[in-house]
Every structure is written in C-alpha cells, then in structure tokens.
Structure 1
Amino acid sequence: MDRDRFCGPYLQLIRNGAIYMFNSSLLIFVICAFAMGVVLIMSKDRIDPRFRRGLAITSIVMITLAFGLIIYSFLA
C-alpha cells in the first residue's frame, strides 16, 4: 500500500510512456509491413523463385498481423 502511494505518479507516467511507445512502435511496424509488401510486388520479377515464396508468406503474415494490431488499437 505504501508503494502505491509513493510511486503512484511515477507509475502513471511510466504507463503513459508505455502506451505512447506501443503506438509509435505499432506505426513503425505497420509502415514496414506495407512497405515490404509493396517492394515485393514491385520487384517480383527480379527475385529468385526459391526466395519469392518465403518472402510472400512472410509479407502476408506481417500485413495480416498489422491489420489485426490496427483493429486492436482502435478497440482498446
């Protein structure tokens, strides 16, 4: 109980900072996921076919996760 009274304002500041950090890292992840998808689509003829499938699956997973995190951030 004393810890909450003593650290209350500082814990709130840390929580607000963590929320801000989550939003900024989410934005960076979303930009990177969509940029990877765009680069993969634009350069699909120059990528070796063995690597193309793995990159496509990775890009699909990242973009799907980005959409999920965007929806989660709007609902939270």
Structure 2
Amino acid sequence: MVDVSQHELVPEHTVLSDDEVEGVLEEYDITPTDLPKIKRKDPALPDDAEPGDVIKIVRDSRTTENAIVYRLVIE
C-alpha cells in the first residue's frame, strides 16, 4: 500500500506539543475550536495524531518561503 503522507507534494504535517498549542492560540487570540478542522482519517496526518491535537502544516508558498497553517484534528 502507498503511504500518501510521504509523497513529495504533501506538505509537512507535525503534531504540536501542548506548550506549542498554547503559544499559537495565545498569538492569534483564539480557542482550539476556532481553528480549521482536519479529519483523523486524512491520509496526510501523522500516525500519532489523535482527535483534539493541533497540527502544524508547512506549505511552499510563491510569495513567502513557507506558509504555515494550523488545523484541529477531529474524528
């Protein structure tokens, strides 16, 4: 079976620690439920991602070197 998460076109997905999540939420003055959602079954997610985790996604960007987005994992 093919591991989609390792494909060259899939951006880097990282599970954030609790401290990192607090920093992101504080920086943007939001709660976790304000974040866009990503389903747990999304093939690009790391295997250790669980519902309630916050994922950092680093994408290539035309206007900046990288674009960073955050997603809340849901069932």
TM-score range, shorter chain: under 0.3
Q: Please, what TM-score do these two structures have when normalized by structure 2?
A: 0.25
Larger Rg, first or second structure (1 or 2) = 1
Higher helix proportion: 1
Name the TM-score, length of structure 1 as normaliser.
0.25
Structure (1/2) with the larger strand percentage: 2
